[in-house]
Amino acid sequence: MSDCIFCKIAQKEIPSTVVYEDEQVVAFRDLQPQAPEHVLVIPKKHVESVLGLQQEDKDLAAHILVDVLPEIAKQLGVDASGFRLVVNTGKDGQQTVKHLHFHLLGGRSMQWPPG
Ligand code: AMP
């Protein structure tokens, strides 16, 4: 999508600090980190939110969960200590960027419940 900031990041039209990339996925550091390690993992394909995933996206969703997120957690050194995955969705979920993204937050102990 031409006006989507994360599509522009995926296409390298906007700079970001990339920590992982493959044909389908890119992961980059959040501009306003909420933890010592705060990475956003996105499909390169524009999907508006987790509710925008279609049947044809099953392999992509599985790839992110099974392959990419564990790999990045290992790379960041938070696989043993633990981390939090957040997928803000829609208005009440406070989703501000309408391109599916997984926040991977780690490097400190997290609070629960969230505010
Ligand atoms: P959300 O509120 O779940 O939609 O999260 C959007 C996230 O994108 C926020 O944590 C922002 O700090 C982050 N963000 C927005 N623009 C950029 C950017 N250009 N590079 C990196 N992170 C960004």
What average pLDDT does the structure give for the chain?
Answer: 97
pTM (whole model) above 0.95: yes
> What was the pLDDT predicted at 10?
98
Distance between Cα 112 and ligand 1 center (Å): 22
- Mutate which of 8, 13, 29, 32 for ligand 1? The one with the most ligand atoms within 8 Å of its CB, which is 32
Active site residue 99: no
> What was the pLDDT predicted at 42?
98
User: Rg for the chain (alpha carbons), in Å?
Assistant: 14
> What was the pLDDT predicted at 12?
97
> What was the pLDDT predicted at 115?
76
For the segment 78-105, the average pLDDT, to the nearest whole number, is 98
Three-class SS of the chain: CCCCHHHHHHCCCCCCCEEEECCCEEEEECCCCCCCEEEEEEECCCCCCHHHCCHHHHHHHHHHHHHHHHHHHHHHCCCCCCEEEECCCCCCCCCCCCCCCEEEEECCCCCCCCC
Q: Can you give the residue ranges of every domain in the chain?
A: 5-106
Ligand 1 pocket residues where CB is under 6 Å: 5, 14, 16, 28, 30-32, 40, 88, 94-97
For the segment 35-54, the average pLDDT, to the nearest whole number, is 98
Which atom of ligand 1 is nearest to 86's Cα?
A: 3
In CATH, the number for domain 5-106 is: 3.30.428.10
Nearest protein Cα to ligand 1, atom 13: 30
